[in-house]
Structure 1
């Protein structure tokens, strides 16, 4: 498998244009970082990350996961996490591939596989070693970046093979949970979706449990298993993520944003924001904007170098 991984590293290095590069293959991104990063809070998507070099760690509630080369990470539920690149350097940058899950494609594929019952609800995050067959499928997919005319025909087939390999692997039960319309996780995600859409509103756990088709005690237990958080902690985390997004996208003051996301106390908002993101709102946003500007400048320099006459002559 070493030759497969080496070729994948070379392809990612050649095509990556920054920390995250969305490719012309829908749902596939390239990840690259020449430095370690500070812990950053974010929301997971229904996705996986195949690590080729370097190391990342991610935490949610009391759960902490560390994954590096030779492993892949999956997220099958939308939950707030704190993650960072913990091993990377200019000589050996962090390299990885992001792959978003298509629920419809998963459901269609599962329907063609041997019958499998709804597994017990489990944590929506997981890590497993990369099987040679999975790495090979990714290699054939990423090679298409050099043959863009072939992407419309071959990419869907290769993405389907990747889903098949994942379903056959140790994280397969997690993926089945997001594909079954009536699974325990599907029912729980219905309640989570309501919480995200109505994050400024107070809620009753009884109503959420009814939405998920569970008793209150079962809902509390299953919610904690899947997200590592209580419903109140989940709502608070989502409010703070939305506040950060608003502060970055709009020229609003912290007090106004605090009220906009459902807080009644500005001081409580500032305390909880600093606890999650490591700095008070104004300082955190200023730091983020500086980082974004620096990242854009680095990508611009790389693009200029790549398109310079000297570079073209030497290629």
Structure 2
């Protein structure tokens, strides 16, 4: 395992110290010191692999601590905050992200559905220790960066292997959640998309549940199973993330930003923003502008 991790470090040594898209279309490399505000975002369906150091991600009331080498699965779009810590031995933080290719995933499920481990439904996204087979597949994928002419032919082969290793491991059920096109899970994905596009509107969960063809309690349970958040928590985190962008980049007042993202009370917005990001809206936005030299 140590040699495999060292090979990943070698293959990524020229990456800059911020999230970087690579020649591998679905692979992202993140390393070094990462400002916390850059880790507060809506995460797309992905596999996160912490190679060195530790990444802490918070989804509502749930917190994932992925200490390298470990991985986690995000099966749908989820608003979250996070922070990274360097490894205790002085090794710089390094993580890899793989956007989930649903076509590859569905083809794997057709052939391997019986091999997926049965597990209790988990409402929180969690981290799993990486196996040698999982890390080996990542090494093969990253080596394509040295022979980019091979990427069109081989990238999907190694991505498929990474997905396969997850499917037959403890996170198989979590990864399976990303694949649904029909049934209750597909309705949850559609509801998530509606909330993302209409986050500033008043959220009537019972009405959305009815449109999804589910009882309110079933919808609520399935939504939290997929996202780790209740529908109301999901909307609140979207609103706060969007308000932060507005305050940093558009220069609106705190009151204007609060109303623009759907809050009816500026004082409630101040309380929830401060609790979520650790400082008041005005102070937080100022610090980000200074840090980002905006």
Q: Provide TM-score, normalisation by structure 2.
A: 0.89
State the partner residue of 2:51: 52
Change (3 A) 1:114 1:200: closer
1:177 matches 2:177: yes
**How many angstroms does 1:124 deviate by?**
5.7
Q: CA RMSD in A?
A: 2.7
State the partner residue of 1:101: 100
**How many angstroms does 1:97 deviate by?**
1.0
State the partner residue of 1:73: 72
**How many angstroms does 1:47 deviate by?**
0.9
Distance in 1 (alpha carbons) for counterparts of 2:39 and 2:32: 14
Distance in 2 (alpha carbons) for counterparts of 1:196 and 1:163: 27
1:135 matches 2:130: no
**How do residues 166-315 of structure 1 correspond to structure 2 at under 5 angstroms?**
166-293=166-293
Distance in 1 (alpha carbons) for counterparts of 2:98 and 2:40: 20
**How many angstroms does 1:46 deviate by?**
0.7
Number of residue pairs matched? Answer: 293
Structure 1 unaligned spans of 5+: 295-315
CA contact (8 A) 1:41 1:83 kept: yes
**How many angstroms does 1:191 deviate by?**
1.5
Q: The residue matched to 1:178 in structure 2 has which SS?
A: coil
State the partner residue of 1:147: 147
1:113 matches 2:119: no
Q: The residue matched to 2:269 in structure 1 has which SS?
A: helix
Q: The residue matched to 2:128 in structure 1 has which SS?
A: strand
CA contact (8 A) 1:177 1:186 kept: no
Change (3 A) 1:283 1:40: farther
Higher alpha-carbon Rg? 1
State the partner residue of 1:164: 164
Change (3 A) 1:246 1:35: closer
**How many angstroms does 1:23 deviate by?**
0.6
State the partner residue of 1:22: 21
CA contact (8 A) 1:18 1:33 kept: yes
State the partner residue of 1:92: 91
**How many angstroms does 1:53 deviate by?**
1.0
**How many angstroms does 1:89 deviate by?**
7.3
